[in-house]
Structure 1
Amino acid sequence: MTALTPGPTRHDDTPDQHTEDHPYVIIGAGPAGLQLSYYLQQAGSDYITLERAAAPAEFFRHFPRHRRLISLNKVHTTSTDPEIRLRWDWNSLLHEPADLPFAKYSSEYFPHADDMVRYLTDFQRYHQLAVRFDTPVERIERTDDGGFLVHTPDSTLRCRCVIVATGWGRPNIPDIPGIEHATGYEDMHTDPAAYAGQRVLILGKGNSAFETASAILGHAAMIHLASPRPLRLAWNTKHPGDVRGHHGAVLDSYQFKTLHSVLDCVIDEIRPTDHGYRVHLTYTHADDETAVMDYESVLRCTGFAMDTTLFDTTCRPDMTPNGRMPTTTGDWQSTNIDGLYFAGTLAQARDFKRASSAFIDGFRYNLRTLTALLRERYEGVPLTHSRIARDADAATTLVLDRVNWSSALWTQFEFLCDALVADPDGHLRHYTDLPEDHIRDRFRDHPHYYTIGLRWGRDDYGDVFAIERHPQPHRAAESAFIHPVIRRYHGDTLVDELHLLEDLLAEWRRPDRHVTPLRDWFARELHRNR
């Protein structure tokens, strides 16, 4: 078990408070804050994590409201390799040895949120992470020397770097006249009997909306789920944050004409009446047809947003156009505040609705990489890499070993990649698990480097369950399933790329389909000047 880092240095600036110094201050002790704390502690870095609640995992003590997670817990797999098994374990934090897996807390495929609370609480205790509970952050301000002051009720912390891992801090409330009459997801009744016989309007068509609709499906007389944009199904988009298949009963009910419906519409106004609410709406795919509907309950299930009230005007981060999360650079740093970083769910803007950075199974790898980048910048520790011969056989072996084994490349498809950098001395430098945009920025002046990652293929098929396949290596770029893609760059210019044919079991080692095409490609590319 890792020992605690040395205690803080204190300066008695006032009779009531003290000031202490740490290079890193992490805000939030949810899964992202704990994972980053673990990595910094393992590296021997001086950090402190602040948590306003009395224990970890405050979010999961309240959400999801109906207490079932959408993160898979696939306990039984065909592999005994702990790294490969992580591909289907969406809840465990990374640690070595991996003797505290989430599977010890639940064997259910969709686990209960209370099991996540127990797991995260034990993870913090087991690793003795330096978390200060019951410590709300009141204000973050920038100092003249480029550092930060983090103010709490009992102390002020000086640091060079702030990492915000608070998760969602407030409901995302759409700008709809009368929205104050809707009951928020955070406040609604979770007993389905409360909606018996009612006509219910659910604002939103994401997982919280479908979670709610699924819970009351057998009780409400009529359920309408409404938002302006069409429904996004996870089996089409490959994104786990879109609507998952286990909510299919709601869609069945819609298609089988039970009065439950999924509406693409703009809500123009919500008005209270003597018996409930009258809602004016305009359909988005029906030549602006309007309607007026009556409901007994209107439920707001429109997601969450980051709470920005803790930022002083000296360090308020730029936000994405929807205002829900911060914009970040290739190292998860604020685009406008140097030294302000984001971790976990808040740091998903760059791969929004693509990879899994919004979820534990994705950001646990991001945070491993972030730790390395922070230590490189603030502690002068070079980014780790290995070296192999600039040789087609060596490169082929390395690439196939990585894509067949790495859980980071598998989970963070189309986002995290490995890099192979060709040096004039006849070697290749190998870096692992870096965001592709960071790789391109880091090596933008280098004439010859590669990215290795896993990607989904074409999406022009009509039925996701009836895809026409082409199992010839020269047509690998037409693969629909996840498969390896190797790209060669000259500076910031994509020179060439190779797709390796998809495989049902995600095993890319067949001589004719994978090994020979990759070796032949490297034999050609490695010795070109451009």
Structure 2
Amino acid sequence: MNSEYPVVVVGAGPIGLAASAHLTETGSANIVLERGASAGSAVAQWNHVRLFSPWSEVVDPAAAKLLAPSGWTAPDGDSYATGREWVESYLAPLAAALGDSVRFDSEVVGVARRGRDRVVDAGRDTEPLSVHVRHSDGSEERILARAVIDASGTWGSPNPLGSEGLPAIGERAAAQQIDYRVPDLSDEDVRSAFIGRHIVIAGSGHSALTAIITFAELAAQHPGTKLTWAVRRGVTDSVFGGGESDELAARGALGMRAKKAVDDGYLEVVSGFRTEEVLADGDQLVLVGDTGARISGVDRVVALTGFRPDLSWLSEVRLDLDPTLEAPRFLATLIDPNMHSCGTVYPHGVAELTQPEPGLYVVGMKSYGRAPTFLAMTGYEQVRSIAAELAGDHDGARKVELTLPDTGVCGGAGLFDEPDADAGGSGGCCGAPQPAELISLGAPPARGD
């Protein structure tokens, strides 16, 4: 359909750039639109966090082929990159290799069908998609596309501290004292703001475990620093992951280090605490839970309660999303943290990601909606499959072959709470973007930013 138009990829993070590499390899003209000023601009916001997937699992195969002629040397596959190293040693060179296909300072503010809003049926399978772009200088343009691959991630939409999915009463007013990502304590100015303070860490996913380790080290060096860990459920061994049974060794080690910090008494653990209200008390805060329990004398809150997709700029295209997770419906049944077991999550591609809007695909961390635990290699397989489909290789698109690592703690809903760059579950099964890959980033982290 409309083969004279390019494929537009939204986001120049690891999944978006991988999509461009696969599209280039299969002969599909493409444009990558990134609202930031450089490749991996979301990853750059967690430069200080080390991935828990090794280099061998965070470099896309098609991207490696594209980079080879430039003299690029792949990092040691058994070593682990920080966010900064991922950008500098892989994402930035990959964007350079893709050349003019990648456009920075270009924010996608809307996608529609040319000449039609979402209500009109006629022409939806013949007219190109219309991508509305706003540039950093304030200018606007419209790009016509035969397909749009949304790899914009979820990093820009952290979940609030409030337990209902909405900001707690008073949360907005207290915004200057609340961080929604793991602070970079290697920055002396940032570090000084936490020394000797009472810090509440909220959440129990991989970002929260990373924060526990980070702040426990600070408290060890500065005994006047007080730490409270507020979790919505109980703290059991499963919260800390698979330990030595985790096939991602660095992820297992993260959980074990966090558990040791708790066992050594660096944090007061307040379980069953769901924040309902944030009160000002002079220069400090009081967190009020839904049972009336209070955490008083709080100087700073680090709220690591997951991420969610921004669907606002997709309002004029037709989406079939799970009503709970806001993930593609066919994918949602595989990743729902209310029922998910690692053994049920298999690699997936175009078959699970196709939307009612012809030519529109949501990939990467955003494809997981509000679910957690996304691995970069999952996203790489997603975009490989989609690129094959767009090139007319329908059999290749559906031949999905990928083995994902196990955490050793797979089970039911008890695995999940709040991750990194993911969305409303717990950092458990398949990785997370911030301390992992993004979108493994998991983070966040996650999390394809």
Same fold, TM-score > 0.5, yes or no: yes
Measured against aligned partners, the alpha-carbon deviations of 1:133-178 in whole angstroms (never above 9, x if no partner) come to: 2222122112342142111244311223211011123222242222
Between the aligned partners of 2:366 and 2:9, the Cα distance in structure 1 is 13
Structure 1 residue 262, shift from structure 2 partner: 5.8
Between the aligned partners of 1:298 and 1:219, the Cα distance in structure 2 is 15
Distance 1:367 1:71, change over 3 A: farther
Between the aligned partners of 1:335 and 1:385, the Cα distance in structure 2 is 15
| Counterpart residue number, 2:282 | 274
Distance 1:25 1:328, change over 3 A: farther
Distance 1:151 1:411, change over 3 A: same
| Counterpart residue number, 1:248 | 256
Secondary structure of the residue aligned to 1:136 is: strand
| Counterpart residue number, 2:28 | 45
CA RMSD of aligned residues (A): 3.9
1:314 aligned to which of 274, 294, 316: 316
| Counterpart residue number, 1:122 | 93
TM-score (norm 2): 0.66
| Counterpart residue number, 2:395 | 383
2:171 is aligned with 1:179: yes
2:8 is aligned with 1:25: yes
Equivalent pair of 2:246/2:252 in contact (CA under 8 Å): no
Structure 1 residue 38, shift from structure 2 partner: 0.9
Between the aligned partners of 2:67 and 2:359, the Cα distance in structure 1 is 34
Distance 1:334 1:314, change over 3 A: farther
Distance 1:155 1:267, change over 3 A: closer
Distance 1:300 1:458, change over 3 A: closer
Between the aligned partners of 2:258 and 2:396, the Cα distance in structure 1 is 49
| Counterpart residue number, 1:366 | 382
1:170 aligned to which of 157, 160, 165: 157
Structure 1 residue 70, shift from structure 2 partner: 2.5
Between the aligned partners of 2:143 and 2:66, the Cα distance in structure 1 is 33
Between the aligned partners of 1:133 and 1:70, the Cα distance in structure 2 is 25
2:339 is aligned with 1:339: no
Distance 1:244 1:229, change over 3 A: farther
| Counterpart residue number, 2:428 | none
Between the aligned partners of 1:240 and 1:307, the Cα distance in structure 2 is 29
Secondary structure of the residue aligned to 1:269 is: strand
Equivalent pair of 2:355/2:361 in contact (CA under 8 Å): no
AA in 1 matched with 2:402? L
| Counterpart residue number, 1:71 | 52
* RCO higher in structure (CA 8 A, sep ≥6): 2
Equivalent pair of 2:216/2:267 in contact (CA under 8 Å): no
| Counterpart residue number, 2:418 | none
Equivalent pair of 1:34/1:129 in contact (CA under 8 Å): no
Secondary structure of the residue aligned to 2:228 is: strand
Equivalent pair of 2:52/2:249 in contact (CA under 8 Å): no
2:148 is aligned with 1:148: no
2:207 is aligned with 1:208: yes
| Counterpart residue number, 2:146 | 160
How many pairs align?
352
Structure 1 residue 26, shift from structure 2 partner: 1.1
1:320-331 matches, within 5 Å, as 320-321=322-323, 325=327, 327=329, 331=351
Equivalent pair of 2:36/2:105 in contact (CA under 8 Å): yes
AA in 1 matched with 2:57? W
Distance 1:99 1:292, change over 3 A: closer
Equivalent pair of 1:328/1:335 in contact (CA under 8 Å): no
Measured against aligned partners, the alpha-carbon deviations of 1:40-68 in whole angstroms (never above 9, x if no partner) come to: 1111112222122232111111125xx12
Structure 1 residue 32, shift from structure 2 partner: 0.8
2:298 is aligned with 1:295: yes
Between the aligned partners of 2:354 and 2:285, the Cα distance in structure 1 is 42
1:127-138 matches, within 5 Å, as 127-128=98-99, 130-138=101-109
Greater fraction strand? 1
Between the aligned partners of 1:233 and 1:457, the Cα distance in structure 2 is 9
Between the aligned partners of 2:182 and 2:5, the Cα distance in structure 1 is 38
| Counterpart residue number, 1:525 | none
Structure 1 residue 333, shift from structure 2 partner: 3.3
Secondary structure of the residue aligned to 1:115 is: helix
Bigger CA radius of gyration: 1
Equivalent pair of 1:332/1:370 in contact (CA under 8 Å): no
Between the aligned partners of 2:251 and 2:292, the Cα distance in structure 1 is 26
Of 168-177 and 228-237, more deviation after overlay is shown by: 228-237
2:228 is aligned with 1:233: no
| Counterpart residue number, 1:409 | 402
Structure 1 residue 259, shift from structure 2 partner: 4.3
Between the aligned partners of 2:241 and 2:16, the Cα distance in structure 1 is 27
Equivalent pair of 2:364/2:379 in contact (CA under 8 Å): yes
AA in 2 matched with 1:346? K
Structure 1 residue 368, shift from structure 2 partner: 1.3
Equivalent pair of 1:226/1:263 in contact (CA under 8 Å): yes
Between the aligned partners of 2:247 and 2:277, the Cα distance in structure 1 is 32
| Counterpart residue number, 1:510 | none
Structure 1 residue 102, shift from structure 2 partner: 9.2
2:212 is aligned with 1:224: no
Equivalent pairs: percent with the same residue?
A: 20
AA in 1 matched with 2:278? I
2:122 is aligned with 1:139: no
Between the aligned partners of 2:73 and 2:258, the Cα distance in structure 1 is 29
Equivalent pair of 1:192/1:215 in contact (CA under 8 Å): no
Structure 1 residue 120, shift from structure 2 partner: 0.7
TM-score (norm 1): 0.57
AA in 2 matched with 1:155? E
Between the aligned partners of 1:456 and 1:244, the Cα distance in structure 2 is 9
| Counterpart residue number, 1:34 | 17
Structure 1 residue 229, shift from structure 2 partner: 3.1
AA in 2 matched with 1:210? L
